[in-house]
Structure 1
Amino acid sequence: MKIKSSLVRIPFFAVFLLTCVSAHAELTSQQLEAKRKGIELYNQYKAISAIEPLKIAAEGGDDEALYYLGEALRKNNRFMTPEAKKAYESSAKKGNIYSMIRLGRIEDDLCSTMKSCPPGEDSPSSWVIKAKSLAIQRATQGDSESMYLLYEMTGNDDWLEKSAENGFAFAQFRLATKYQEGSGSFLLPSRRNQAIERWMKASAENGYPLAMMGLAAIMIEKKDLASFRNWNEKAADSSYVEGVFGYASYIGEENSKYGFAFDPIKSYALLSNLLELNGGGNVVRDVNDTLPDIEKNMSKEQIEKAKELAKTWKANHPPLSFFPDKLGY
């Protein structure tokens, strides 16, 4: 696909690019565990709880930990604070494009409305230029995520399509959802539907849980219940919160309209695991509405088995996550 030439005529900022550290810093085992825990909590919408472990990881100079620390601080306060900006700047200096983009968007932050944005080492426009320069360098080397970030910065759909074609799962999902929202030119509605399914399936097969649920929804429309059940279960196995709740609810129905096998023990186990999200999202409210109806028809022995299964399932699956957009507000 031909990319518009105007996009590549950006100053290279050679000195800046040469000083960027693309690899993550070497962290101690304690810092690595703190980073893992901090990002886990952040992805469960527990920004306040995520701050302390992310601070520990950020002390090791890891650019990703610094980015997430900036995000947690900013979202907890609802605007860019001096501490958040310092974290973003430290991350950006190490070559983290997400942090550069966030610094470049400070004029869209609430702090701008409040006229309280903290002063920075560089202007927002300068960070945008640096981010584009670095993203183009990496995209030229075949990095599909950088291609997506160029779409974020330019709004040029060519970059989104190129990123999707080069296998970046989130770009594939975004492309499918843009087509669902009416973007793109298609001669026939059937061609649009084919493109939506193609990219949603590509993203789902690439492991992106929101696309798994998106594809499951498409399968419902096609009345392909076997595929709907398959993708719903895959989303649950990925520990995507919405997928876990949906799947657990369906298998807790004695006569599932979608054809799920009745399994109250597994339903109870998965729903009870979701209770750990108290303080993150609204799923606990939904669980509290659903779990009692399943529990009331279970024996004490079944409940004990369910509690053991809950522990086993948690030990053998990734941490629960809402999989938020990394550049989402």
Structure 2
Amino acid sequence: MFSGRSLARICGLSLLLFAGFPVLAQTDLETAEALFQEGYILYQKNYSPNAFAKFKEAAKLGHAEAAYYAGNILRRNSTYITPEAEEFYRQAADGGDVYAMLRLAQKGKMCGTLRNCDYDREEWLARAKEIALPKAEAGDLEAMKAVYSIYRVAGDKNAAWEWIQRAAEGGHAFSQYWVAILLDEQEMGFYWTESGRREDMLKWLRASARQGFPKAMRKLAVKLREQGQFEEGRYWIEKMAGTDYYDALLEAGGQIMMGPDVAEVMSPDFSYHFKHPSPVEGAALLLALHREKGKDMPMQLIESYQDHLTPEIMDEAEERSKELLVNTPIIYYLPKFGM
């Protein structure tokens, strides 16, 4: 699930680069990787300030990907690249992080305080391609996704579309999901009919969902509901209840709790035509989600259905909720590069 380099590779690299002081080097790199992983979980949980502290410390120890994420948090908070964010991005880019190179190559308002948005744009694009393209051509699926982003930033939509499709065809779950998104938003791909586009969109969503990617599950369930394919839609709602993705858990909890009553409580358009409500199971999931995240929406869903929830139902749901989502970080599946 995580995108950092493996500890084994880092330790191996430390032996090569720092043979004169292997114990110290290995310790620093292990510490940096541990800090990065802690920061990455916090980042995916949307705890950006805490994540930034971890990434900053890891970056001080030379962790390139941590430097990228530190820069990303600063950019997201400011909506553009500040001098401090640029410093982190340059550290990451100098360490070989392709997506940091792409940040430095981007045009538009995100450039922010950089003295000239395009002053080394072509150089960064060339460096990114030099790193990622050979790996992609050798069959590396993550590299194929990176090459998609390179061509997208460069403005070559045809080449970008080719590479994201190749990653999807190779079985890369996020790329399969992203191909479906691009098709749904009609950004890429030529089709003679909208039905053909829709068919391919569902094909790729199913492929990604079957690999367990929760964002694809949720998107697929919604699309199936919109097209009246309620039986398969219900299947994915129930699968979503077993994931760690906040939006999927929230929707699954509400749908399972209310069942067919969703049509009355919310809107007929939101109904998956469940045969009956399962208030204990659904409310238990929502209570567990509220416990883990502290957000209001799970409780608001319960309150919207309170006329159907007896004290006995809520007592049982409360008891069941204690066993749900324990030791499970509830995350948002934020992409590394804001595609």
Alignment correspondent of 1:39? 40
Task: Give 1:49 shift.
Answer: 2.9
Please tell me whether the aligned partners of residues 48 and 73 of structure 2 are also in contact (alpha carbons under 8 angstroms).
yes
Q: Which has the higher contact order (CA 8 A, sep 6+)?
A: 1
Task: Give 1:249 shift.
Answer: 0.6
Task: Give 1:262 shift.
Answer: 3.2
The separation in 2 between residues aligned to 1:233 and 1:58, in whole angstroms, is: 40
Please tell me whether the aligned partners of residues 150 and 159 of structure 1 are also in contact (alpha carbons under 8 angstroms).
yes
Q: Secondary structure at the match of 2:100?
A: helix
Alignment correspondent of 1:129? 126
Aligned pairs for 1:136-151 (under 5 A) are 136-151=133-148
The separation in 1 between residues aligned to 2:162 and 2:44, in whole angstroms, is: 29
Alignment correspondent of 1:9? none
Alignment correspondent of 1:269? 284
Alignment correspondent of 1:328? 338
Alignment correspondent of 1:190? 195
Task: Give 1:254 shift.
Answer: 6.0
CA 1:118–1:304 in structure 2 vs 1: closer, same or farther (change >3 Å)?
farther
The separation in 2 between residues aligned to 1:64 and 1:233, in whole angstroms, is: 35
Aligned length: 297
Residue type at the aligned position of 1:263? S
CA 1:50–1:310 in structure 2 vs 1: closer, same or farther (change >3 Å)?
farther
Alignment correspondent of 2:58? 57
Task: Give 1:299 shift.
Answer: 5.7
Q: Secondary structure at the match of 1:265?
A: helix
Structure 1: give runs of 5+ residues left out of the alignment.
1-21, 279-283
Alignment correspondent of 2:274? 259
Residue type at the aligned position of 1:325? P
Alignment correspondent of 1:3? none
Q: CA RMSD in A?
A: 3.1
1:239 to 241, 244, 250: 244
Residue type at the aligned position of 1:175? V
Between 1:207-216 and 1:289-298, the stretch displaced more is: 289-298
Aligned pairs for 1:20-39 (under 5 A) are 23-24=9-10, 31-39=32-40
Residue type at the aligned position of 2:190? S
Aligned pairs for 1:1-329 (under 5 A) are 23-24=9-10, 31-105=32-106, 107-112=107-112, 116-117=113-114, 123-154=120-151, 155=157, 156=159, 157-182=161-186, 183-253=188-258, 255-256=260-261, 257=271, 258-259=273-274, 262-275=277-290, 276-277=292-293, 284-294=295-305, 298=309, 303=314, 305-315=316-326, 317=328, 319-328=329-338
Alignment correspondent of 2:20? none
Please tell me whether the aligned partners of residues 268 and 295 of structure 1 are also in contact (alpha carbons under 8 angstroms).
no
The separation in 1 between residues aligned to 2:334 and 2:280, in whole angstroms, is: 29
Alignment correspondent of 1:11? none
CA 1:59–1:66 in structure 2 vs 1: closer, same or farther (change >3 Å)?
same
CA 1:45–1:23 in structure 2 vs 1: closer, same or farther (change >3 Å)?
same
Residue type at the aligned position of 1:96? D
Give me the TM-score of the superposition, normalised by structure 2.
0.75
Please tell me whether the aligned partners of residues 180 and 202 of structure 2 are also in contact (alpha carbons under 8 angstroms).
yes
Identity within the alignment, %: 28
The separation in 2 between residues aligned to 1:132 and 1:251, in whole angstroms, is: 46
Task: Give 1:118 shift.
Answer: 6.9
Q: Secondary structure at the match of 2:258?
A: coil
Give me the TM-score of the superposition, normalised by structure 1.
0.77
The separation in 2 between residues aligned to 1:29 and 1:290, in whole angstroms, is: 43
Please tell me whether the aligned partners of residues 80 and 118 of structure 1 are also in contact (alpha carbons under 8 angstroms).
no
Task: Give 1:288 shift.
Answer: 4.0
The separation in 1 between residues aligned to 2:165 and 2:202, in whole angstroms, is: 15
Residue type at the aligned position of 2:297? D
Residue type at the aligned position of 1:158? E
Q: Deviations over 1:194-253 (max 9, x none)?
A: 211111111212332221112212322443323212212323322222211111111221
The separation in 2 between residues aligned to 1:168 and 1:312, in whole angstroms, is: 32
The separation in 2 between residues aligned to 1:33 and 1:260, in whole angstroms, is: 47
Structure 2: give runs of 5+ residues left out of the alignment.
1-7, 12-25, 152-156, 262-270
The separation in 2 between residues aligned to 1:104 and 1:158, in whole angstroms, is: 21
Task: Give 1:65 shift.
Answer: 2.2
Please tell me whether the aligned partners of residues 32 and 63 of structure 2 are also in contact (alpha carbons under 8 angstroms).
no
Please tell me whether the aligned partners of residues 229 and 260 of structure 1 are also in contact (alpha carbons under 8 angstroms).
no
Residue type at the aligned position of 1:132? K
Q: Deviations over 1:22-46 (max 9, x none)?
A: 9557667765554333222322333
The separation in 2 between residues aligned to 1:203 and 1:102, in whole angstroms, is: 27
Residue type at the aligned position of 2:179? L
CA 1:31–1:102 in structure 2 vs 1: closer, same or farther (change >3 Å)?
same
